[in-house]
Amino acid sequence: MINNITIVGGGSAGWMTATTLLNQFPDKKITLVESPNTPNIGVGESTVAGGQSGFAGVVDWLKLVDIDDHEFMPQTDAIYKLGIAFEDWYRKDSGLFHYPFGQPRVLPNMGTNSWHIKKIFYPETPVSDYAEWFYPATTLINQNKSLFTDNFSSSFGRIDLEKDELNNEVQLGSEFSYQFDATKFGNWLRDNYCKVRYSDQFDHIQAEVVGAPQNEDGIKHLILDNGQKLEADLFIDCTGFKSLLLTDTFNVPFISIENYIPNNYAWSTKIPYKDPETQIVNYTNCTAIENGWMWEIPLWSRMGSGYVFSDKFISTETALREFKQGLRKKGYEGVEDLEYHLIPMRSGIQSKLWVKNTCAIGLAAGFIEPLQSNGLQSIYQFIFNLTRTLSRGHISEWDRKEFTTKCHDDFYGFASTVVLSYALSHRDDTEYWREIQNREWSTDLFSYKSEGISKYFHQLYIDKNFNLEFPPHLGNIHCMAAGMNWNPIDIHSLKMKYDKMYFHSSQSNLTEITQQIEKRKKRWNNQIKDFPSPYQYLKDNIHITSEI
C-alpha cells in the first residue's frame, strides 16, 4: 500500500508531480525534497495540445488538477500557442509550413487526400497550403490573430458559441496550448498551489540527498545532508538527467535512441522584444540551419531561443557562432550582449521506470530532444500514467511493469514523430545533414515485428504505401508529410490504383472541392477580421498589470 510518497527533485517534473498527487490523492502524504544548490535547466518553455494520437495535452492536465490558466499565466510569462512551424526542414531555403494543433477538418465526402490530388494536378501548390485547407487555426496564425476574444476565452464561452457553430468555426475548430517560463511555472505551483491548497498534506524540504540505503523492498530511506532520514512507501525520481535514484541506486540500464536522434547539445538564450505586437505570435518556430535547428518561443516579456546540435559535427564554440549568426539573420539585435547557456542532453529512456519502491518522472525517466515541445508533454503524460497505477491501491510487480510499458509506448510514439522530421529531410548542404540523408536506418523500421520507435514507423509505412492515406487522427503526421513531400498518394499510385474514369473524375471533383475550400477559407477570414492580436488580447485580459 502506498500512503506516503517522497518526490526527489523540484523543477517542472517535481512540482507538476507534487501538484497532481496532492490533487488526486488527498488521503496520501506528499513530501518534496530538492537541492538548494542545483539550478533548474529552465527550458522546456513550450507545450502541446491534447487529443493528438492519444496523447494527453497540457490543457488536459490543467483540467485534471483544477487550475484555471488565468491563475498562473500572469506570473509565468505565459502566452497561448496554436501550433508549430517548420522552416527549411525539407531542403535548404525550402520555406515554412505549419503544424496547427488538432485534427484536420474534412468536408463531407472529402478525405485529406484531396489536397494531395490537388498537388498532383497543380504541382506549383506550396506545401504551406495544406494547413490552410484543413486547419482553421492557420487563419489565425497567418494573420497573427488571437484565438480568444471577449466572448470566447480558454475558461468559458465555448458552449455559447456552439449554438452558432458555422459562424464560429475558427474558434471551435482550433486547439491550443501554452508557452511559459518553465522555472516560473514550477515556482508558481510550489508557492500558489502545493503550499497553499494542501499545506496539511504536503512538506517541502530543501536539502541534499547524500544516501539511499536499500533493503529487500528497495530504498529503505533517504539520508539528507541536514541529518534527516526520510522514509516513504514510494520514492519518485525527478532529479533530471543524473537520475539520482533510478540510475545511481538501482543501476537501471538506459536505452539510448541516439541512432535515431542526431543531437546531444543545445545553446539557449533570452532575447528582449523590439516590437512585441508583431513578435508575439501564437506558434513556436523551428528553423533548420547548418548543423541542427533553432527554436523561437515567444513569451510575454521576451523571446526564448536556442540551437540544438551535435558535437560530433561541430564544437560547442562553433555552434555558438552559428547560433549567433542565425539570430542575426532573423533580425535580432544586440546578439553579442545576450547571455548564453550550454545544455547537454541525452536521448533515450530508462529500461525500467518503476523498480521496487522507486519510479521516475521527467528527465530522470527519459528525454527525446526539444523538437515538437515534447519535454513537458512527457512529464504530464507519465504523471497521468502514475495516477492510474496508484489508483489500484496495492502495487504489484504487474503494476510496475504496466506503468513502464505504457510510458515506453507514449515515449516511443512521440519520439517517432520527432524522428520523422529528420528522416524525411532532403537537406544535404552540410556533413550533418548528409549524414542524416545517408544514415543506415534499421530495417526494423518497416517490420511488423518491430519494437520501440520502429513499431510506430511500421504503421506509417503501411498507411502510406498500402492504405495510401494517413488516418484522420494523425494530424501532426499529415502536416509533416505534406511539408516534407512524403505523400500518401501521387500521380503513379493514382493512375495504377484507379481506372481512367476515376482518374478524370478526380480532376473534375477537385474543381468542386477547391471551390468549397476557398469558400470556407473566405468564411474563416471573415470570422476573425476583427479579432485582436495575441499581444493585444494578452495585454487586455491576462497580463493586465504587466508592461513589457
Beta bridge partners of 294: 287, 307
Could you state, in order of their start, the residue ranges of all structural domains in the chain? Answer: 4-79+180-258+347-414, 103-153+166-174+440-528, 265-344
Query: In this predicted structure, what is the pLDDT of residue 43?
Result: 57
**Which pLDDT value is given to residue 158?**
65
Cα dihedral sign, 336-330-322-418: positive
Specify the 3-state DSSP secondary structure of 167.
Answer: helix
Cell numbers describing residue 515: 471551390
Q: Are 99 and 83 in contact (CB under 8 A)?
A: yes
Q: How far is residue 129's CA from residue 123's CA, in Å, rounded to a whole number? A: 12
Distance CA 93, CA 422 (A): 16
Give the distance between the most distant pair of CA atoms in the chain.
Answer: 82
For every residue of 450-467, DSSP letters joined together read: --THHHHHHHHHHIIIII
CA–centroid distance for 103 within its chain: 16
Sheet of 348-350, strand order: 254-256, 348-350, 366-367
* Burial grade of 227 (CB within 10 A; 0-12, 13-18, 19 or more): exposed
Which residues contact residue 45 at a Cβ distance below 8 angstroms, ignoring those fewer than 6 apart?
179, 180, 181, 182, 297, 299, 304
Which residue in the block uniquely carries the three cell numbers 536521448? 347
Instruction: Look at residue 271 and give its three-state secondary structure.
Output: strand
Instruction: Considering the domain delimited by 4-79+180-258+347-414, tell me its CATH architecture.
Output: 3-Layer(bba) Sandwich (3.50)
> Is 0.85 topped by the overall pTM?
yes
Average pLDDT across each block of 10 residues of the chain; the chain has 548 residues. List them in order. Answer: 96 96 97 87 72 70 94 96 97 96 85 88 94 96 96 73 81 93 95 95 96 96 95 97 93 94 96 96 97 97 96 98 98 96 96 97 95 87 96 94 96 92 96 94 78 86 89 83 93 74 66 91 96 97 84
* DSSP-assigned letter for residue 337: G
Return d(Cα 19, Cα 380) in angstroms, integer: 11
Cα–Cα nearest to 31, from 200, 205, 196, 188: 205
Sheet with 209-211, side-by-side order of all strands: 209-211, 222-224, 229-230
